[in-house]
Amino acid sequence: MSTKPPAAVQQFPKESIEAVAYASVSTIPTVEPNDRTRLGFHVWRWLAEKQGTLEQAISSSGSRIEISKQEAEKIIREALTAAGVTNQ
């Protein structure tokens, strides 16, 4: 059993592509918080690799979202546009 505290989590800078991707999904209602994290990862991967569509990224994430995929895509696109990401 370890007696040391866990390592501190270093946050990404707010302007980084990672922070923008995860922030874009922060308001999407999901069954569990991990579903939102997984969705954020797939949005980040879509932004970084520039392959496929946002709709494909949402579907391939396997996240259990509580709204339609079309509504989630609209919310994410609006958040990305507000953050200045225009290569959608």
pLDDT at 66: 96
Element (H, E) at 43: helix 33-49
Rg (CA), the chain: 14
pLDDT at 27: 95
* pTM for this model (two decimals): 0.84
Q: pLDDT truncated to tens, each residue of the chain (88 aa)?
A: 668 888 888 888 888 899 999 999 999 999 999 999 999 999 999 999 988 999 999 999 999 999 999 999 999 999 999 999 876 5
- CB-CB contact of 69 with 9 (8 Å): no
- CB-CB contact of 16 with 76 (8 Å): no
Q: How do the domains of the chain map onto residue ranges?
A: 17-82
pLDDT at 1: 64
